Chain A
């Protein structure tokens, strides 16, 4: 097949978000870094480094045919599972915040769950492209995939890493849904799953507190609601144009680790509604282009891989912004490309590299399809 060009707008969105991330990580982290490690460039340097390496890897990966990459997916899957088991073993994985999620490699830390996200998306796409026909059947089609996802979730819960488990489950659900799983099956599993989740929240005092604090963060502004309250203060302080770049007050340790999960509120505080709108707009652009790529992918595997990679970014960004705006309870999910986060940055960019490669194989990559036309075509398909 003839090599074509990258999807320009996707590339543009990724680079724009990464650039915003570098600037915002510096702005958000400088005081925190000066305070904790006595070097206000600490996080900036690392973010620059990981972004740089990530972008290079993205271009490398974008030049590898995704179909060849997909052949590696069973091996990647196995490696990810082994690593997830290893990291859960005390003495091998390092502990932080009561969770054993990281390998300490000395110069950096590495989260196997990041690798697992990519591996699982690739593996599911690879496998479903062959077995999509079976998906109509519950036990022989859907259940094996559910078992795989459930097993991964189980490993993640060992660490524990709930947010990642939720994310992986959600992304897997999108892939299975698009691959043709029956809605009836979804409801049959989703209903009890929701009930189980509700029970889990209710059964643990810690989780229940966190849940309740989301409903009324101001009931305990110094305790459970602390992060959310300070996030709301930051966002509210931004108003239309923000305090100005670098002028956040909430980053002065009111928001703990402001360069991480709550960086969006710093963006909203410094750059205002305009800044928040811009970031959200880039995510919208990325998601639109990503799904367009999946709809125009040359084969089902590419299509599923594209929707999986796009969903990963979409869900992470939506959940993250929902958390900082007190729309849902606090879950530790970073904002892709913007939040500081060494290896996770790397894997996100690698994922984008795969997506770009799929876009090069798109049948429509030369002629951008307008939304209206897409709709029309979808209708035609129906009629």
Chain B
């Protein structure tokens, strides 16, 4: 130090103080000689220090450049990434739009519910003690009816957001909120508003409505097709959060409100839909329909679909529940692919739109319309029904040997195949298929439902280059396939004066405040037949019901026009495939509805498998229910009136003497039977049927002078397959009264055989004409 001090001077020091550059040799020599330079090389020292200043300065400038590069070149990219980690976003599901029927009755409704979620990382920093977490899981498990272990597992996930339970009742949500936030003051468990779809009428219109998934997304039916309309815009809750997902102090919770979905008004009428489904369900039960059934009700004047039903059905509230016909203890629903596929191929299938079938004789209405429109035939034109030979094939009528000579109208009543072969051939290949297309076949109807075949698929169900024999068979509705919705639409054209209407399922879309967003108007696709032809066909079809193969669809007071259909398609199944159907237009003079009922694969005795026997009564009853509901006034024909007067009201004879009573009953056209003392002056103490009860004329009233009706019970006999006369006699012999419904052979009776009934009881028995077509 001493050597350095004092001798060392700064840069102003004369250069002489500095040693000249030394060569290595001389230095070594000096070192050996003990001459080591003690004078510091000031120039070099300063130069090197100055060099370090440059190095440090440049380095820091480079660092400044790096900061700028990150902030200005990479800034946006990094900021975006930073934003996504620094903010937590919770979605709020919008309220899904309501689906209403045409009268504003809610068919699919979204209820406000709550969803419970958690920020596990945040929760664990809020509740540090494992026992307390355990306790919380236990309590929540009890409230939410969940396994506490499952909840605890969620609590220990390395995550900032997990659902605990979605879509719980609002009451329960409020209780959970009270406990978690009110009592415990936790910030990491959220109870957010959510919405849940529910279908107040259960399975009603299930195929039209479809169903939704857990995220409220439409998965089938209108829910799927109009998903974007119904869905709305999700809202969100955004928070700037720390690394554990807890909101930071100065961050304001940003709340973007959800926009509710639009409401959809269907053309469906809830009540008519109910009638339709009941009718199908009953038919399925009675006829053991192996492949289910389909029915559609339309307003022919507008093309609006009033009801659309498919059987079997499902409950959209619980779409993946095990269907009744499945026997599988391990049913897993949507969590199993097999189960899911089964559901889609059975209960979820909307047979009205998704399935095609051979229409059979119901298609004769189309052939008749074409022939009438072309002026080839008139209702009174004489035609001959006898086996028809064409290109080596013989086409027979269902009635052995045919119906012989008759007018065209009666050929339709009798559903004579050979006559329709003649008419189809007379119309000719080009014209016939042109009518087929004009009536809307070979083309999709464009209904707002998924799963309708495409135009090409439809076309492939017809002959590509039809020959005469193809035409001949097509004339009575065989060897091609159509969907129920197509046939119903074609019948609408026949019913409404000849206009092919676009089938409508959606009437209107409006927002949650009721403002109309979109209104759908009936749309005429084209004029197919003239007003006159339309009227003529309707008149002929009315005859089918009043005196032809459709007699079982007859409803007194309502003029129903219709056509039966039976087809047997050769399928892989050995027993073949029967589809029986009935298409109806009612009332025939001023049509309000078109009804099509298709029953697939009825498992009844062979001779009963016809549209006239199976489908006609279902369609007739359905027409009656609907027309009554639509308050269409009954117009009774003379025959109807005659039948109506066959009923009388039982007078009260209790308290009278037997003599007086018998006189009174005679005046009412009623028979009598006295139980107990037969004395003329004995007083009647009781009577069956009771007073003011409507009974058929000539029924027997039981008069009691002793004892009571309870002491005179008789078992109900089995009347199945008995004729009207046979059945009447059997009942009379037992002292029971019969109310005859229909004609032909007994099909069903009000009480099961063996049921004990008091004597004098009136029992309804349905009879049916066994007719094929």
Instruction: Write the B589-605 contact mask toward A (1 if CB under 8 angstroms, else 0).
Output: 00000000000000000
Whether a CB of chain A sits under 8 angstroms from the CB of B673 is no
Contact of A381 among B46, B56, B64, B243 (CB under 8 A): B46
Complex Cα spacing A325 to B52, Å: 22
Complex Cα spacing A31 to B242, Å: 9
Q: Which residues of A contact B31 (CB under 8 A)?
A: 137, 140
Q: Which residues of A contact B75 (CB under 8 A)?
A: 236, 239
* Total CB contacts across the A-B interface at under 8 A: 184
Is the pair B243, A252 in contact by a Cβ cutoff of 8 Å? yes
Is the pair A247, B250 in contact by a Cβ cutoff of 8 Å? yes
Distance (whole angstroms) from the CB of A84 to the closest CB of chain B: 26
Is the pair A298, B8 in contact by a Cβ cutoff of 8 Å? yes
Complex Cα spacing A325 to B78, Å: 13
Is the pair B4, A321 in contact by a Cβ cutoff of 8 Å? no
Whether a CB of chain B sits under 8 angstroms from the CB of A253 is yes
Distance (whole angstroms) from the CB of B3 to the closest CB of chain A: 7
Is the pair A136, B63 in contact by a Cβ cutoff of 8 Å? no
- Report the stretch among A13-21, A154-162, A192-200, A273-281 that lies at the interface: A273-281
Is the pair B66, A325 in contact by a Cβ cutoff of 8 Å? yes
Closest to B41 in A: A180
Instruction: Write the A276-312 contact mask toward B (1 if CB under 8 angstroms, else 0).
Output: 1100100110011001001110111101000100110
Q: Which residues of A contact B22 (CB under 8 A)?
A: 136
Q: Which residues of B contact A249 (CB under 8 A)?
A: 82, 86, 240, 248
Complex Cα spacing A252 to B49, Å: 42
Interface of A is mostly: helix
- Report the stretch among B32-40, B102-110, B389-397, B709-717 that lies at the interface: B32-40
Whether a CB of chain B sits under 8 angstroms from the CB of A129 is yes
Complex Cα spacing A14 to B764, Å: 111
Given the known interface contacts A240-B71, A287-B53, the answer about A322 and B40 at a Cβ–Cβ threshold of 8 Å is no
Instruction: Write the A232-260 contact mask toward B (1 if CB under 8 angstroms, else 0).
Output: 11111111100000010110111000000
Whether a CB of chain B sits under 8 angstroms from the CB of A70 is yes
Is the pair A136, B49 in contact by a Cβ cutoff of 8 Å? no
Q: Which residues of A contact B5 (CB under 8 A)?
A: 67, 299
Distance (whole angstroms) from the CB of B157 to the closest CB of chain A: 15
Is the pair A300, B43 in contact by a Cβ cutoff of 8 Å? no
Complex Cα spacing A310 to B57, Å: 12
Is the pair B1, A301 in contact by a Cβ cutoff of 8 Å? yes
Whether a CB of chain A sits under 8 angstroms from the CB of B174 is no
Is the pair B10, A298 in contact by a Cβ cutoff of 8 Å? yes
Whether a CB of chain A sits under 8 angstroms from the CB of B632 is no
Whether a CB of chain A sits under 8 angstroms from the CB of B70 is yes
Whether a CB of chain B sits under 8 angstroms from the CB of A132 is yes
Whether a CB of chain A sits under 8 angstroms from the CB of B342 is no
Is the pair A254, B49 in contact by a Cβ cutoff of 8 Å? no
Within 8 A of B (CB), among A300-358: 300-301, 303, 307, 310-311, 314, 317-318, 321-322, 325-327
Contact of A236 among B48, B78, B86 (CB under 8 A): B78
- Report the stretch among A75-83, A106-114, A116-124, A171-179 that lies at the interface: A171-179
Is the pair B67, A295 in contact by a Cβ cutoff of 8 Å? no
Is the pair B248, A280 in contact by a Cβ cutoff of 8 Å? no
Whether a CB of chain A sits under 8 angstroms from the CB of B11 is yes
Is the pair A318, B57 in contact by a Cβ cutoff of 8 Å? no
Is the pair B243, A322 in contact by a Cβ cutoff of 8 Å? no
Is the pair B68, A287 in contact by a Cβ cutoff of 8 Å? no
Closest to B158 in A: A222
Whether a CB of chain A sits under 8 angstroms from the CB of B693 is no
Is the pair A287, B71 in contact by a Cβ cutoff of 8 Å? no
Distance (whole angstroms) from the CB of B730 to the closest CB of chain A: 87
Whether a CB of chain B sits under 8 angstroms from the CB of A147 is no
Is the pair B53, A70 in contact by a Cβ cutoff of 8 Å? no
Complex Cα spacing A129 to B8, Å: 10
Is the pair A325, B81 in contact by a Cβ cutoff of 8 Å? no
Distance (whole angstroms) from the CB of A266 to the closest CB of chain B: 13
Complex Cα spacing A377 to B49, Å: 14
Within 8 A of A (CB), among B8-30: 8, 10-12, 15, 22, 27
Q: Which residues of B contact A31 (CB under 8 A)?
A: 242, 248
Whether a CB of chain A sits under 8 angstroms from the CB of B627 is no
Q: Which residues of B contact A70 (CB under 8 A)?
A: 1
Is the pair A364, B242 in contact by a Cβ cutoff of 8 Å? no
Whether a CB of chain A sits under 8 angstroms from the CB of B85 is yes
Contact of B59 among A237, A252, A276, A318 (CB under 8 A): A318
Is the pair A235, B10 in contact by a Cβ cutoff of 8 Å? no
Distance (whole angstroms) from the CB of A20 to the closest CB of chain B: 15
Distance (whole angstroms) from the CB of B44 to the closest CB of chain A: 6
Given the known interface contacts A174-B52, A178-B52, A180-B45, the answer about A253 and B66 at a Cβ–Cβ threshold of 8 Å is no
Closest to A255 in B: B243
Q: Which residues of B contact A126 (CB under 8 A)?
A: 1
Whether a CB of chain B sits under 8 angstroms from the CB of A268 is yes
Contact of A129 among B4, B50, B71, B244 (CB under 8 A): B4
Complex Cα spacing A321 to B64, Å: 9
Q: Which residues of A contact B70 (CB under 8 A)?
A: 232, 235-236, 268, 325-326
Is the pair B46, A236 in contact by a Cβ cutoff of 8 Å? no
Is the pair B79, A236 in contact by a Cβ cutoff of 8 Å? yes
Q: Which residues of A contact B186 (CB under 8 A)?
A: none
Complex Cα spacing A284 to B56, Å: 8
Instruction: Write the B113-147 contact mask toward A (1 if CB under 8 angstroms, else 0).
Output: 00000000000010000000000000000000000
Distance (whole angstroms) from the CB of A40 to the closest CB of chain B: 10
Whether a CB of chain A sits under 8 angstroms from the CB of B519 is no
Instruction: Write the A119-160 contact mask toward B (1 if CB under 8 angstroms, else 0).
Output: 000000010011011101100100000000000000000000
Q: Which residues of A contact B8 (CB under 8 A)?
A: 298-300
Is the pair A254, B64 in contact by a Cβ cutoff of 8 Å? no
Instruction: Write the B145-182 contact mask toward A (1 if CB under 8 angstroms, else 0).
Output: 00000000000000000000000000000000000000
Whether a CB of chain B sits under 8 angstroms from the CB of A382 is yes
Whether a CB of chain A sits under 8 angstroms from the CB of B252 is no
Whether a CB of chain B sits under 8 angstroms from the CB of A225 is no
- Which of A71, A240, A273: most chain B Cβ within 10 A? A273
Contact of B37 among A133, A296, A303 (CB under 8 A): A133
- Which of A126, A254, A291: most chain B Cβ within 10 A? A291
Complex Cα spacing A236 to B72, Å: 7
- Which of B70, B81, B82: most chain A Cβ within 10 A? B70
Whether a CB of chain B sits under 8 angstroms from the CB of A378 is yes
Q: Which residues of A contact B47 (CB under 8 A)?
A: 378, 381-382
Q: Which residues of A contact B3 (CB under 8 A)?
A: 130
Whether a CB of chain A sits under 8 angstroms from the CB of B642 is no
Whether a CB of chain A sits under 8 angstroms from the CB of B74 is yes
Besides A247-B250, A254-B242, 13 more A-B contacts (Cβ < 8 Å) are A67-B1, A70-B1, A140-B31, A174-B52, A180-B41, A249-B86, A250-B86, A268-B71, A284-B60, A287-B57, A295-B11, A318-B60, A326-B70
* 6 cross-chain CB contacts under 8 A: A134-B36, A178-B49, A180-B40, A235-B70, A303-B45, A374-B50
Residues of chain A at the chain B interface (Cβ within 8 Å)? 31, 35, 67, 70-71, 126, 129-130, 132-134, 136-137, 140, 174, 177-180, 232-240, 247, 249-250, 252-254, 268, 272-273, 276-277, 280, 283-284, 287-288, 291, 294-296, 298-301, 303, 307, 310-311, 314, 317-318, 321-322, 325-327, 363-364, 374, 377-378, 381-382
